[in-house]
Amino acid sequence: MTKAAFLFLPLLALAACSSEPAAEPTPASTTAVPVPAATSSLPAPDQALFTRLHAETCPDAEPVSTAICRRAGFGSEEVTCEYGLGEDEYRRNKATLVPAEDDWALKDGAAVCEPGGAATPTEEAAG
């Protein structure tokens, strides 16, 4: 029976240690991350929105076939969109959206509309 007492003794010590009340957590100061006022009411850019903006800005260009838009960086107001034109299923072109008065707008729309004017992701990485 003494062996059982030695095995049971660490369990009792552990139970005694854990019976102390836990310390109250101190409330951490929370800092709110400010949301840029210009983009807080604008819809999140998606393929449909980018397709519409591209068609309005570049009426003579091929239609957008695929697009993905992402924030340029944490807290940034700009959005980067990679897109494909016409029959192309790959996103070989890149454009930047900026907040306008009540909608998004293409940044440097004239360069985006030029044939080969939009920077491709591979060209940007190379140079």
Q: What is the pLDDT of residues 55-104, one digit of tens each?
A: 999 999 899 999 999 988 888 889 999 999 888 888 889 999 999 888 89
How is the chain split into domains, by residue range?
38-122
50 with 27: CB under 8 angstroms? no
Is the pTM above the cut of 0.75?
Answer: no
The rounded distance, in Å, linking the Cα atoms of 55 and 66 is: 13
94 with 121: CB under 8 angstroms? yes
- Residue 28's pLDDT band, with cuts at 50, 70 and 90, is low
